Every structure is written in C-alpha cells, then in structure tokens.
Amino acid sequence: MSKVATNPENLLARLKQAQDRLGYLPEECLAEVARSLNMPLSEVYGVATFYSFLSTRPLGRNVIRVCKSLPCYLKNSRMIVESIEDKLGIRPGGTTPDGRFSLALVNCIGACDIAPAMLINHDVHGDLTPRKISRILQSYE
C-alpha cells in the first residue's frame, strides 16, 4: 500500500471508536472520517472492510464470531457453525430478525488451546460442543 499523507493508526482508532458508538460503520460515517483525515473514501472503506471486527452493515446486539482457522477446523468448528445456524436460523453474515444475534466466521482468535472456539461480543468461549452452545446462547439477551 502506498503511503497516504495521514497516519493510518488514527484511521483504525477512529473507525473503532465510531463502531463502538454506532454499532457499525454507515457510509456517512466513513465519509466523515475520510474528510477529517484527508483521505479518499475508497481507502477508508478498504480498511473498514478488511478487518473482521469492523462492519459496514448493522449488526445484532450480540455478535458471535466463530473461528474458522485450521486448528479449530481440525477440532470440528464446522459442527459448531452448523449447530448455531440450526439454533438461530441464520447463516454466517446474517442477523436474526429480532436483532439479538449476528453470526460471523473469523480467522484465529488466539484461543487455539481451547479449540473449537468462538467469541460472543468480548467473551471467549472454548472447547465448544453443540450441547454447550445452547446454554451459552441462552445467556445473551
């Protein structure tokens, strides 16, 4: 990536702040950040869509991020995803109609020792089994 005349560190921090405040990054917000950092919108959009913890679409109240990297995959993360899909009736990238959950697949979340693992909001859940999933999901309103 060529150097942009602004500090890319500011960009990420700004996007994270906005996401924490609004729950996602609507286009007007990206345009505003671009203007204030004097960067092209395309560059800001590029960064916002690169990171799986930033979202340009509205998300549910609770965001489930299931790890799809190899160690979790070998511990059958596919089964975890399927059981969440069954229970919530949504696919990765989707949000339940009541806005309670969004589901996403992400790369390694650094919890390989308790694979298969997932994050719900900021909580790590590991050694997952379909049985455990129901209980965990119930604890999020």
Partner 1 sequence: MDEIRVTIDGKQLSGHPGMTILELARENGIDIPTLCYRPELSLLGACRICVVEVEGSRTLVGSCHTPITPGMVIHTHSPKVLETRKVIVELLLASHCGACFMCDKANICELRQVAAELEVGLPRFEIKKRYYPIEDVSPYIERNLSKCVLCRRCVRACRQIAKRDLFAVAYRGFDAKVVVDSDRALDKEACRDCDICISFCPTGALSKPRKLSEEKKGKPLVITS
Q: Least distance from C-beta 107 to ligand FES, angstroms?
A: 8
| 43 touches, from ligand FES, partner 1, none (C-beta below 5 to 8 Å by class) | partner 1
Query: Which member of 40, 58, 93, 99 binds partner 1 (CB under 8 A)?
Result: 40
Contact call for residue 112 and ligand FES (CB under 6 A): yes
Window contacting ligand FES (CB under 6 A); options: 6-14, 17-25, 48-56, 111-119:
111-119
Query: Which member of 9, 20, 50, 139 binds partner 1 (CB under 8 A)?
Result: 50
Residues 46-75 that bind ligand FES (CB under 6 A): 67, 69, 71-72
Angle at the Cα of 95 (from 124 to 78), degrees rounded to 5? 55
What is each CA distance from 54 to 5, 67, 81, 114, in whole angstroms? 23, 16, 21, 25
What is each CA distance from 15 to 95, 107, 113, 116, in whole angstroms? 21, 20, 30, 29
Query: Which member of 41, 90, 105, 112 binds partner 1 (CB under 8 A)?
Result: 41
Instruction: Enumerate long-range contacts of 120-129, CB under 8 Å, 24 or more apart.
Output: 120/62, 120/63, 120/64, 120/65, 121/62, 121/63, 128/80
Q: Which stretches of the chain bind partner 1, using CB under 8 A?
A: 1-3, 27, 30-31, 40-43, 45-46, 48-50, 56
